[in-house]
Amino acid sequence: MLISHTRPGRIVVLFALLLCVGCNDAAPKPPVLDTGAGPDASEERASVYLLFDPQDCFTCEAEMARWVAHRREYPSRVFIVLTRRPSASERQAIAVRRIPIDGVSQDRRLRKAERGGRAFLFQGPELVREGRTADAELMTTIEQELGR
Amino acid sequence: MMGRAGGMMVLAIFAFVACGRGGGGERVYLSEVEELPPTDSVILAETEVDYIGSPAHITAGPEGTIFVSDAMNSVVHEFSRDGGFVRRFGQRGEGPGEFGTPVATGIAHDSLLVVSDWRESRASVFSLASGVFIRSAPLEGYAFSMRAARGDTMVIGVTNPNLSTSLAKWSTDVGQVDYFGPLPTEYSQSIALLHAHPYTTATLLGDTILFGFSGNPNLFLARMDGTVFDTIAIPAVRRRGVPNDIVQRFAKDLTETEIAGMVSSLVALHRLSDGRVAVVHQDVNFERGAMSAATFLSFLSPDLRRSCPDIPLQFGRDRRPVVTFDGDSLLTLETKLRDGERAENVLLSYDLSSTDCRWVPLS
């Protein structure tokens, strides 16, 4: 065990823990994907990430078609991302719907307990908006940004 | 359009027919085959833009084309019988001629495409000649099957939980939809069952409506006003059937997998040219978003007193197939994953002309 039993040592450990929690509360950055997919370094316009749990593929399919269409139109700016590696049956469910997956991100700051996809709009490294994919207003904002 | 696989199927069919007709060998009856072989197989020509995301229903049109409602992309695709893409109807939206979640499709008067929209709670009519949207009418409930009655009146299998009705009549030249027909008593005993397996499938036998439900084992015969005068129970020989204690089972908390795996769902009914009635059930397996299904074809004799039950069709391993009829053929649309990744939709045809069967008297 590396935890110090001296009083100054405990204070140092506590301070380090607080720092660590502070790190987790920092504004999310565009997720780093296991595939390396992401906006080109020269891309200055907004980028959009859709994150969803592979198990939600069946329930969010009506919304997914819009995302697939946006990704086709803006391949360097729209990314469809899973929050974890899918099981065999989940891979099957994704494949039959022809949903292209750009990668997996396990960044906890981008995950929410709620069911359904979550969208993140970034301007460079800065998070501008986030919300549920079912949020029509968010979707409108995202489509306006993509159209710029 | 048959490739090498299609050629193999022809060989398989010859072998099947040879077995069935004897020639010194033992006669093989339809109800005893391991799997009924399709007579044709066509891969639909989809593109990156015009692809079927989630097929909900298919219908054969008067010119031989196939209409596929796509619940994911909110359109209805039309394909030629050799698999070529023809056109699409509608687009995502809430306006006239647009779809939220298109489900059941039907043809009225040989000239109109009728589409039920679950999310928008309405049915819309398009001209087959021009592809143009004509009109829509409010349609409340779970609409699953549509059959043209006289002229352009549609009889729609639509379970309406609010009115406790199972059918609707819609004269497509006016906006009025009339709901009628009873629901099975089990649905009034279990609201969970009603919403888990709500679909009504209906067809017309002259002036009689034959209909049944995805969560009930029986078929019902009704007059055009919805008065039921007879009930038919096709024995479940190789499929799951519907458990007698289904209401008690639905009193407990069930997972999606348990709900889907509890029953054989009725999915299609059709009268053939020789008077037999073809009946299609599916045993669905649902696991983490992936839905596969075993499909079973049964026949009722023209007098509806005997059945030839549970002839297995090709297993829908990668997705639950959707089915329809075209004359004396059964058509199934199946999504298959090539190399486990690349999806393609295949239209299979089954010739239903053979009557070789060990017919079972119905009680």
The values of phi and psi at residue B185, to 5°, are -60, -30
**What is d(CA B35, CA B311) in angstroms, rounded to the nearest whole number?**
7
Residues of B in contact with A134 (CB under 8 A): none
> pTM score > 0.90 for this model?
no
Contact assessment for residue A59 and residue A138, using Cβ atoms and an 8 Å cutoff: no
Residues of B in contact with A57 (CB under 8 A): 289
Distance from CA of B57 to the nearest CA of A (A): 15
- For residues A124 and A116, the model is more confident at A124
| Chain A positions touching chain B (beta carbons under 8 Å) | 54-59, 61-62, 64-66, 68, 72, 87, 89-98
CB pairs under 8 A between A and B: 67
Q: pLDDT tens across A81-123, in order?
A: 998 899 988 888 899 999 999 999 877 776 665 667 889 999 8
Q: pLDDT tens across B164-189, in order?
A: 999 999 887 777 899 999 999 999 99
Label residue A6 by pLDDT band (50, 70, 90).
low
Question: What distances in angstroms separate CA B180 from CA B70, B136, B166, B255, B360, one per listed residue?
Answer: 28, 20, 6, 32, 32
Contact assessment for residue B352 and residue B345, using Cβ atoms and an 8 Å cutoff: no
The reply to whether residue A89 touches residue B288, judged by beta carbons under 8 angstroms, is: yes
**What is d(CA A10, CA A6) in angstroms, rounded to the nearest whole number?**
6
**3-state secondary structure at position A61:** helix
Residues of A in contact with B337 (CB under 8 A): 92, 95-96
The reply to whether residue A96 touches residue B335, judged by beta carbons under 8 angstroms, is: yes
The reply to whether residue B100 touches residue A64, judged by beta carbons under 8 angstroms, is: no
pLDDT of residue B151: 66
Using CA coordinates, name the residue in chain A closest to B290: A93
Q: ∠ CA(B67), CA(B73), CA(B76), 5° rounding?
A: 20
**What is d(CA A62, CA B351) in angstroms, rounded to the nearest whole number?**
34
Lowest mean pLDDT among A96-105, B21-30, B33-42, B281-290: B21-30
- Nearest Cα residue to B339 out of B363, B324, B318: B318
The reply to whether residue B74 touches residue A62, judged by beta carbons under 8 angstroms, is: yes
The values of phi and psi at residue B144, to 5°, are -130, -35
Sequence letter at residue A86: P
The reply to whether residue A98 touches residue B51, judged by beta carbons under 8 angstroms, is: yes
Label residue B16 by pLDDT band (50, 70, 90).
very low
Question: What distances in angstroms separate CA B114 from CA B69, B96, B107, B209, B356, one per listed residue?
Answer: 11, 13, 6, 19, 36
| Chain B positions touching chain A (beta carbons under 8 Å) | 48-49, 51, 53-54, 71-74, 92, 100-101, 119, 287-291, 318-319, 335, 337, 340-343
- DSSP characters over B202-217: EEEETTEEEEEETT-S
**What is d(CA A118, CA B196) in angstroms, rounded to the nearest whole number?**
27
Residues of B in contact with A56 (CB under 8 A): 289
Average pLDDT over residues A119-129: 89
**What is d(CA A97, CA B345) in angstroms, rounded to the nearest whole number?**
11
Does residue B128 carry a pLDDT above 50? yes
The reply to whether residue A65 touches residue B92, judged by beta carbons under 8 angstroms, is: yes
Strand pairing class (A78-82; A46-52) = parallel
Average pLDDT over residues A71-80: 91
Distance from CA of A58 to the nearest CA of B (A): 5
Q: pLDDT tens across B51-93, in order?
A: 999 999 999 999 999 999 999 999 999 999 999 999 999 999 9
Contacts of A20 (CB under 8 A, 6+ apart): none
- Nearest Cα residue to B137 out of B148, B151, B149, B153: B153
ipTM tops 0.90 = no
Place of tokens 């307990």: A113
Question: What distances in angstroms separate CA B27 from CA A46, B82, B86, B358, one per listed residue?
Answer: 69, 34, 43, 11
The values of phi and psi at residue B336, to 5°, are -120, 140
What is the separation, in whole angstroms, between the first and last Cα of chain B?
43
**What is d(CA B299, CA B360) in angstroms, rounded to the nearest whole number?**
10
